[in-house]
Amino acid sequence: MSVRIFSGGQRIESIPADDRGLAYGDGIFETMRAHGGELPWWDAHWQRLAHGAQRLGFPAPRQALVREQAQAMLEGGDGVLKLLVTRGSGARGYAPGVATPPTWVLSLHSLPPAPAQGLCLRWCQTRLSLQPALAGLKHCNRLEQVLARAEWNGSTGNPDPADEGLMRSTEGDVVCATAANLFVLQEGRWTTPPVDRCGVAGVCRGWLLAHADVREKRLSVTDVETAQAVFLCNAVRGILPVARLGAARTWPAHPLVAELQARLADAHPGFGRH
């Protein structure tokens, strides 16, 4: 993994111990799929990051500098580029205090392997809290997702070989997977949960809302388990068909999922089929 750390416009060696992202999760991040040294969805990622910084009340770093450093790290290759931005250093206590230069970190990672077949999902016991002030943001407090993911990674002794888990809100509606947005096919039309109370407004989700016949609607467990087809999506892995959900339901490959995958490959070369 290659890493570069900055304070404002100055490159630094390490994240300061008094950084508010480290102390309180006071920051936001983007995870981008690079292809051939380029970031095809850069504009969408930057728009979401800038919106998140504005919502949290701290400045984003200078876009041109971040883009320049990102492309220098990529060196014409493929990979996963993570950009993390925090409020920067601050005194002890929750109050943000005086404005300080944001800390930002670029890290380059290998692409995850593509699944050989449809995903196997499970229901997570950990629920998502309702917090409209943070809804939609990809903020740095991901403890709910960490706890949900730990339910089947071996740390809790659960042998379930699931690929991902579906999360509900504290009110019981289905919101998302731990690291992806959720889409279900109902009566021939795609539906995805809104992210107005919790959840992340994913970049791939945004592309689908703009380029496919998709509606936003709160989903129940029954809505998901009785759907004609289900897929997950995120900006790194694209569209991921779902083959099984616990012991309740299995789905064969669906042509409408394949059609969306083909359209996505046309829009983002990183998701092309090789």
210: enclosing H helix or E strand: helix 203-211
User: Does pLDDT of 54 surpass 90?
Assistant: yes
CATH, range 2-109: 3.30.470.10
Which of 153-157, 167-171, 202-206 has the lowest average pLDDT? 153-157
Confidence of residue 88 (pLDDT cuts 50, 70, 90): very high
How many angstroms separate the Cα of 195 from the Cα of each of 132, 134, 221, 224, 230? 9, 10, 17, 17, 18
Kindly report the average pLDDT of the chain as a whole number. Answer: 94
Q: What is the percent of the chain with per-residue pLDDT over 70, rounded to a whole number?
A: 97
| Residues 118-144 pLDDT 10s | 999 999 999 999 999 999 999 999 999
User: Does pLDDT of 115 surpass 90?
Assistant: no
User: For domain 119-271, which architecture applies?
Assistant: Alpha-Beta Barrel (3.20)
Question: What local confidence, expressed as pLDDT, does residue 149 receive?
Answer: 95
What is the pLDDT averaged over residues 208-227? Answer: 97
Distance between CA atoms of 241 and 227, rounded to whole angstroms? 13
Which residue has better confidence, 214 or 156? 214
Question: What local confidence, expressed as pLDDT, does residue 90 receive?
Answer: 92
| Residue ranges covered by each domain of the chain | 2-109, 119-271
CB 61 within 8 A of CB 8: yes
Distance between CA atoms of 59 and 168, rounded to whole angstroms? 32
Question: What local confidence, expressed as pLDDT, does residue 274 receive?
Answer: 44
Q: Do 2-109 and 119-271 have matching folds?
A: no
